[in-house]
Amino acid sequence: MSGTYLDYNATTPLEPRVREAMMPWLETTGNASSVHAFGRRAREAVEAARDEVARLLGGAPAELVFTSSGTEANNTVFETIAANHDGGHLAIAGFEHPSVTEAAARLERRGFEVTRVRSTVSGVIEVAAFEEALRDNTRLACLMRANNEIGSLQPVAEVAALARERGVRVLCDAVQAVGKIPVSVVDLGVDYLTIGAHKFYGPLGAAALWVRRGADLHPLLIGGSQERRRRASTVNVPAIVGFGAAARLARDELPDWAARMAAVRDRFEDGLGAIPDVKIHASAAPRLPNTTNAAFLGADGEALMVRLDLRGFAVSTGSACSSGKVEISPTMRTMGVSDDEALASLRISFGKDTPQEVAGRLLEAVGEEVSELRRLRLAGSGS
């Protein structure tokens, strides 16, 4: 596909070295549960990948459960809470990914109480606000490491320490953080951590839930005895092998990746200064090195995204269009961003291989399209 892909927080391309590692497993057969030589070879490949992913996160291989997606991993934790408790309370950040917010809402419908902790306007959940949300009957505290829409980093280690002191289990969704910043289960001190390969140059179809030794897990899928009976179904050998290869690359190359992404992102953000009335969300907060989310006041974010798409730039907005109506992103809502600003926002997420010159080309296109949209709005014709 031609064009300039700048939506790396949605998904990343497969790294050629990951693809190379996967290729033999796309052509070879062998169920990793089988006893024969084909099965044993597949199992060895899966276990080697498990070692790589565990090393990336600083955990033990036996603590990892491979899943098909980050969504499945997050859902599994909520179903574990539901299986272990008749009711109780959950504290989640208001801007968690839908795989968390919807799972929490489902438990709410089953009688649990849910507190959605609001973010400050700078995009960070305050430790004190999260602490205030904890109750005697809180069963789970959930805080993502990096927000997918604005890239702000959250004080997971601090919140986890407070929660675990009170005997509350802690889930950290680290799907957006891995491959962009270091992620260590030891440093974060959580009970559960979610990661997905396709956000850091691995394949779709491979993700994992890290489960601290001693923390329980109720399988979402039951049937076979795969994954130590914690997730039934035949393991996806090629995808898991790719996941392991991506984890190895991330471990070896992260500082270089982060520096390259930050360089192009900073160049772009510096250039935004020349466009009037632009507000970069969470600019004062610690952020991922690759993400810019900015409001172009007086321009419609959806229209801007479509116009950039026509010029070959793939970017995104956090708003969702449903039943012909644009809905404000829950992230912006929980941050207290005004509707006007939220609807004027655009997310650009750069990748490790985005050429530095893209910043200049994108700035030129954004500058022109924003001027045009503002002109059309002033002329009263919309766009």
Euclidean distance between CA atoms 84 and 212, whole angstroms: 17
Euclidean distance between CA atoms 12 and 353, whole angstroms: 10
Is 97 a binder of ligand PLP (CB under 6 A)? yes
Question: Which residue number, 43 or 97, has a Cβ lying nearer to ligand PLP?
Answer: 97
Question: Which residue number, 147 or 354, has a Cβ lying nearer to ligand PLP?
Answer: 147
Contact 316, 10 (CB under 8 A): yes
Is 67 a binder of ligand PLP (CB under 6 A)? no
Q: Please identify, among the stretches 67-75, 253-261, 333-341, 351-359, the one whose residues bind ligand PLP according to the rule CB under 6 A.
A: 67-75
Is 71 a binder of ligand PLP (CB under 6 A)? yes
Euclidean distance between CA atoms 347 and 345, whole angstroms: 7
Is 196 a binder of ligand PLP (CB under 6 A)? yes
From 75, 76, 99, 331, residue interacting with ligand PLP (rule: CB under 6 A): 99
Question: Which residue number, 159 or 272, has a Cβ lying nearer to ligand PLP?
Answer: 159
Apex CA 253: angle with CA 196 and CA 269, to 5°?
80
Is 173 a binder of ligand PLP (CB under 6 A)? yes
Question: Which residue number, 69 or 226, has a Cβ lying nearer to ligand PLP?
Answer: 69
Q: How far is CA 53 from CA 20, 56, 149, 195, 207, in A?
A: 18, 5, 25, 9, 10
Strand positions, DSSP E, 161-289: 169-173, 192-196, 207-211, 278-280
Q: What track of x and - describes contact with ligand PLP for positions 296 through 335 (by CB under 6 A)?
A: ----------------------------------------
Contact 356, 362 (CB under 8 A): no
Is 176 a binder of ligand PLP (CB under 6 A)? yes
Is 70 a binder of ligand PLP (CB under 6 A)? yes
State which amino acid sits at residue 4: T
Is 244 a binder of ligand PLP (CB under 6 A)? no
As measured in angstroms, the least distance from the Cβ of 74 to ligand PLP is 6
Question: Which residue number, 69 or 354, has a Cβ lying nearer to ligand PLP?
Answer: 69
Is 76 a binder of ligand PLP (CB under 6 A)? no
Secondary structure class of 359 (helix, strand, coil) = helix
Euclidean distance between CA atoms 201 and 268, whole angstroms: 23
Catalytic residues, which ones? Answer: 321
Q: What is the 3-state secondary structure (H, E, C) of 126-184?
A: CHHHHHHHCCCCEEEEECCCECCCCCEECCHHHHHHHHHHCCCEEEEECCCCCCCCCCC
Question: Which residue number, 43 or 347, has a Cβ lying nearer to ligand PLP?
Answer: 347
Is 69 a binder of ligand PLP (CB under 6 A)? yes
Residues numbered 127 to 146 that lie near ligand PLP (CB under 6 A) are: 144
Residues at the interface with ligand PLP (CB under 6 A): 69-71, 97, 99, 144, 148, 173, 175-176, 196, 198
